[in-house]
Amino acid sequence: MPGSDQEAARPSGAGASDGLAALLLSRIRDVPDYPKPGIVFKDITPLLADGPAFAAAVQALADGSTGVTTVAGIEARGFILAAPVAYVLGAGFVPVRKGGKLPAATHAQSYELEYGEATIEVHTDAIAPGDRVLIVDDVLATGGTAAATAELVRRAGATVTGIAVLLEIEFLRGRAKLPNLDVRAVLAV
């Protein structure tokens, strides 16, 4: 499968240096045929367990972001990365959750999946008009979830300052669903 080999991974644009890329890639495990045959899952749990690698990943995700007031993390691994990025930037953290998981009033956005539709939500009071929001996730694949998150941010009256991901799977062309947005990937495969 294209993009499934760790050896093919490389730093992405303004993302990681060669040394940082090597460190991070050595901590990302390929899991073949998960969650279904033909898929190679990029498991970041070894990276999260390595303090220096985790810190380097968080710093790389935060680098280049200025004037951010809020960091929105996409469920679920995006939470793990977005909260420390918010801390580094001195910004607040907002979880973007799967539909039905938040306790108060929400804005919801549905988007298409290969096999149906999904919905994500954010509390109506979590993002204020005028906020400058950085969206963070672990992987950019098809771009549907990131595009839906950007729409939620705009609906709240805020500005999307960018989308930062640890890993972009380029052959899935997720950037195509994110026109006119600053998308930064630390690594690309």
User: What pLDDT, in 10s, does the model give residues 33-76?
Assistant: 998 899 899 999 999 999 999 999 999 999 999 999 999 999 99
Per-residue pLDDT of 5-32, as tens digits, reads 443 454 554 467 899 999 999 999 999 9
Which residues, including other chains, have CB under 8 Å from residue 51's CB and lie 6 or more apart?
Answer: none
Task: Based on the residue annotation, tell me whether 154 is a catalytic residue of this protein.
Answer: no
Q: What's the rounded Cα separation, in Å, for the pair 44 and 59?
A: 16
Catalytic residue among 75, 97, 114, 173: 114
Per-residue pLDDT of 139-181, as tens digits, reads 999 999 999 999 999 999 999 999 999 999 999 999 999 999 9
Q: What's the rounded Cα separation, in Å, for the pair 40 and 33?
A: 6
Global pTM reads 0.91
Rg (the chain; Cα; Å) = 16
pLDDT class of 4 with cuts at 50, 70, 90: very low
Contact criterion met (CB below 8 Å) for 145 and 122 = no
SS3 (DSSP) at 176: helix
Q: Assign domain 6-188 to its CATH architecture.
A: 3-Layer(aba) Sandwich (3.40)
Task: Based on the residue annotation, tell me whether 77 is a catalytic residue of this protein.
Answer: yes
Q: Where are the domains of the chain?
A: 6-188
Catalytic residue among 10, 29, 75, 77: 77
